[in-house]
Amino acid sequence: MVHDVAGVATVQAKLLRSAGHEVDEIALPVTGAAWRWPLKAFALPVRLAGYAPIGERLRRGGYDVVHVHWLTHGVVGVLSRRPFFVQAHGSDVHLNLKNPVYRRVTEAVLKRARLVFYVTPELRAPLAAEAGDRLRYLPNPVDVDALAPEHLPSRVKNVLIFTRLDRAKGVDRIFPAVERLSHSFEITAVEWGPLARSYVNSYRKWVRFVRPVPRAKIASFLQGFDVVVGQMRQGTLGLSEVEAMAAGRPLITGLDSSLYRDDPPPVIEAFGPDAISTELEQLSVDGSRVGDLARRGIAWAGRNHSLEHHLDLLEAAYFGSASR
């Protein structure tokens, strides 16, 4: 298991070990990864030089499966000259395919990979041209048992904006509503993302900003709120949105329901400040709907994102069938 993104590779390694597989976790050098262009270009040769010995280790390691996270990091799979799986997570598709350098690397990786996993439905379309029938949908794993709530909300008073403060998440469609909402609700947001400083300065009069919490405390954190507002731009459910549902919190988000035709998630769809305000106000006078959304969200998260389901999908992709 090469590289880790948002803890997903670590969870996968743990699941595979629990099923009797031997798993090595290999970190990649990240020198310059957070730099901006054109400085980032100077770091690329250094990072590639660091990838070479890892490619050699993969080639000589006798592994049955090589699974690399983040598309551009799939270069180590190419260097290994072994069959490899690669997993797309989001920005490695949305942003990197718009960058002329990263696009060439990404396309080369997609052509060579044995299978290409993608974690949210909207990623399939931009990957299809290069990966075709080698694409596999692999929803992010969520420990739904650990997130199971002690109680379900029955009212709407405390509202959490649970998304990275980033234009890519559509926060510009959420925060124009907070002044109006603050008259009826207590609004909290996580101080996290490239727009964090400017949003704290602009909206702290109406929003309480809190620091990100460790993953082990996500369950207790989410239970402090009655409703969660998620991302508004990408049309899909990211890890934060699924965790909110698993924790039994009704979710308002900008969902493209056409991407989930097989099993539509029980969320409230909204795409702008007026819709968010209207939905919250309507929800606040219908306690039975609050509880119904909470129960249905827990069940949906279990069907689609549980650890057991994720392990089955992994083993089926690797070996043709699940071990359990």
pLDDT in tens, 173-197: 999 999 999 999 999 999 999 999 9
- Is 217's pLDDT higher than 60? yes
Q: Mean pLDDT throughout 249-270?
A: 96
Q: Is the pLDDT of residue 58 over 80?
A: yes
Do residues 298 and 311 share a domain? no
Q: Is residue 1 part of a domain?
A: no
Q: Do 199 and 281 belong together in one domain? A: yes
Instruction: Inform me whether the pLDDT recorded for 205 exceeds 60.
Output: yes
Residue 80 near residue 55, CB atoms below 8 Å: yes
Whether residue 169 sits in one domain with residue 275: yes
Q: Are residues 253 and 241 in the same domain?
A: yes
The rounded mean pLDDT for the chain is 93
Residues 152, 67 share a domain: no
Based on the fold, state whether residues 292 and 157 are members of the same structural domain. yes
Share of the chain above pLDDT 70, in %: 94
Q: What would the mean pLDDT of 244-252 be, rounded to a whole number? A: 98
Find residue 189's DSSP bridge partners: 161, 209
Cα angle 92, 94, 100 (rounded to 5 degrees) comes to 75
pLDDT at 252: 98
The verdict on 132 and 265 lying in the same domain is: no
User: What range defines the domain where residue 283 resides?
Assistant: 144-304
For 21-45, write each residue's pLDDT tens digit.
Answer: 999 999 998 765 655 656 666 566 7
Category of 236 on φ-ψ map: left (φ > 0), alpha (ψ -120 to 50) or beta: beta
Shared domain check, 284 and 257 = yes
pLDDT value at position 50?
A: 84
Q: Contact at 8 Å (CB) between 50 and 75?
A: no
Query: Do 111 and 173 fall into the same domain?
Result: no
Q: Are residues 136 and 148 in the same domain?
A: no
In this structure, are 12 and 130 located in the same domain? yes
The total number of structural domains in the chain stands at 2
- Is 324 domain-assigned? no
Look up the CATH number of the domain holding residue 69. 3.40.50.2000
Q: Give the pLDDT score at 280.
A: 97
Identify whether 3 is part of a domain.
no
